[in-house]
Structure 1
Amino acid sequence: MNLITLPHDGIWAVVLGTMQDAGLPHIGCTCARCSQALHDLNQAAYAACLGIVIKRGSETAVTLIDATPDIKYQLGLLANPLGSHPTRLDRLRQPDAIFLTHAHMGHIGGLPQLGPEAMAVEGLPVYAMPALIDLLQAQTLWRPVLERLELRPLQPEIPIAINADCTITPIRVPHRDEWNAGTLAFRIQGPQRSLLYLPDIDAWDLWPQARSILVNVDIALVDASFFSGNELGGRAPVAHPLVTETLTRFADLSTRLMLTHINHTNPILDAGGHENQIMQAAGAELAQTGTFFQI
């Protein structure tokens, strides 16, 4: 996958991954899509992640939304904006901050890569809900990496300014919560555009303000794990809205609707396929790793 090179100064949102927590291929899966990705890494895809890059001349600041199991590849995509480590020129500089949406594997599973056995960051700010911070600190397994992080609590609806022109505001959303640690979406406001990043939600009906929030952003990257119940193979309904429902609810909005957090079973992954055409006809698009846009 090509390294990301931003064309000029500004504040940029960069798509660094679009898949459900396990990525593509999905571990242990022998379906045609996963088998192809296992044997041809050009077909592989990373877990959902977003980068915010502030570029000012030769200086950049890089913020990640979530620390996925694919974080080493995702930081590699940002090698140009990150630049070299100040004292180890054969290493990348660490990111400037990470914001965590919630406690599930695909969203915090990359944190150990920041620890002493791997990137060995120093004082990296990581923003999360207080209950998620407590959860991490309660597990001694996390201690080596936590000693290298600066954990900062988030409060819903209270914006964090990552520079003078860009804020990130956490918004609580309903999503299965085994540890009562909460789940967040993030509204990112730049000088030109606003963006909602919402990789996980249980159901739109459980979030009454969904439409009013989506209508008031320029771009929305939203949970599109499953296209329809046909993917579940007789299993009980899962805690994600179906793409068909998302398109019905929001296709009339002027907001640029981008679908992310795609399960490996989802047929919208097939370019030119029937379900992909339905998505496009509704005015939505499949988020693509490497895509960037100014905000």
Structure 2
Amino acid sequence: MRIRVLGSAAGGGFPQWNCNCPRCDGLRRGTIRALARTQSSIAVSDNGERWVLFNASPDVLQQIRSFPALQPGRALRDTAIAAIVLIDAQIDHTTGLYMLREHRQPLQLWCTRQVYEDLTRGNPLLKLLEHYCGVNWHELPLGEDFQLPGLEGLRFAALPLLSNAPPYSPRRDQPQPGDNIGITIRNNSGRSLFYAPGLGQMEAHVWAAMQAADCVLVDGTLWTDDEMIRLGVSQKSSRAMGHLPQSGEGGMIEWLDRLPRTTRKVLIHINNTNPILDEDSAERATLAAHGIEVAFDGMEISP
């Protein structure tokens, strides 16, 4: 199984275009040691020839250009993207579908019914695509294994997560199972990855999936619960936005510390305000001391 991190930042990327927080300003000025990042997405393959895209960020064209395996050049118009799986209906995970409208066949899209409804009503992105390539929607089953055509060497299992629906969703602040998912990906040899870029609360079934995985690639959005509030850029806490903070009681670090010693632990979907983006920060050193990695664009993971 090959896993490529296409984008590792939260919505807005890093640096965010209109943000002058210490991290964004420091990267632009060259006063901190950090890497620019595009918005969260990964690509997974069983053989390196056909790939499933997890989320389609607004930066998807840049991400495809930076990863030639997604453009094999076998025909005049070609792609190695066999399917697209949406973790949720958030703008930073779906807007890239617009950028793929030149596809010659309908996009093979897998998502839950809740996500499909949000993308045909609150944000009717899929209806717009009917005027271009079109979309073949496949309902993502929750709690049972499934396979994707063209990727027979992999098996997938999606789990519902307690995390908020998008601001335009009628279920905003009243989440339902299927608004947000985590997913286990397993190859024929039994090696597995658990992927959850938006994880607001640890539930028993999610914790069981994390403990069973060889690698966890999970929510790294914010360092503290009040990070956005203290900076004056939001009135909502990390948990209220559907993201478990890394630090503090019951935070992500505490949970990751409880995983088996052999589990590889990687954070993704990192907000531009998060001090872990600064590679020389005390917060980054704390993660290293706990054996926790920070995903970056172009990172290759082999569970």
| C-alpha distance in structure 2 between counterparts of 1:124 and 1:96, whole Å | 8
Q: CA deviation at 1:121?
A: 4.3
The TM-score normalised by the length of structure 1 is 0.84
The TM-score normalised by the length of structure 2 is 0.82
**Residue 57 of structure 2: which of 48, 51, 68 is its match?**
68
Runs of 4+ that moved beyond 3 A: 35-40, 138-142, 178-181, 233-236
Structure-2 residue corresponding to 1:130:
113
| Secondary structure of 1:103's aligned partner | coil
| C-alpha distance in structure 1 between counterparts of 2:158 and 2:170, whole Å | 19
Structure-1 residue corresponding to 2:301:
293
| Preserved contact between residue 108 and residue 138 of structure 2 (Cα < 8 Å) | yes
Q: Following superposition of structure 1 onto structure 2, how do residues 112-127 of structure 1 map, counting pairs within 5 Å?
A: 112-115=98-101, 119-127=102-110
**Residue 127 of structure 2: which of 143, 150, 165 is its match?**
143
- 1:182 matches 2:188: no
Cα deviation 1:108-144 (Å, max 9, x = unaligned)? 11111112xxx33422201011122233233655423
- 1:51 matches 2:43: yes
Mean CA deviation greater in 276-285 or 135-144: 135-144
Structure-1 residue corresponding to 2:245:
242
Stretches of structure 2 that go unaligned for 5 or more consecutive residues are 172-177
Q: Following superposition of structure 1 onto structure 2, how do residues 24-173 of structure 1 map, counting pairs within 5 Å?
A: 24-35=14-25, 37=27, 43-55=35-47, 60-84=49-73, 86-88=75-77, 92-93=78-79, 95-115=81-101, 119-138=102-121, 142-146=126-130, 148-162=134-148, 163-173=151-161
| C-alpha distance in structure 1 between counterparts of 2:124 and 2:291, whole Å | 47
Structure-1 residue corresponding to 2:212:
216
Cα deviation 1:223-246 (Å, max 9, x = unaligned)? 111111452234342331111211
Computed over aligned residues only, the root mean square deviation of the Cα atoms, in angstroms, reads 2.2
| C-alpha distance in structure 2 between counterparts of 1:201 and 1:85, whole Å | 38
Report percent identity of matched pairs. Answer: 22
| C-alpha distance in structure 1 between counterparts of 2:163 and 2:108, whole Å | 25
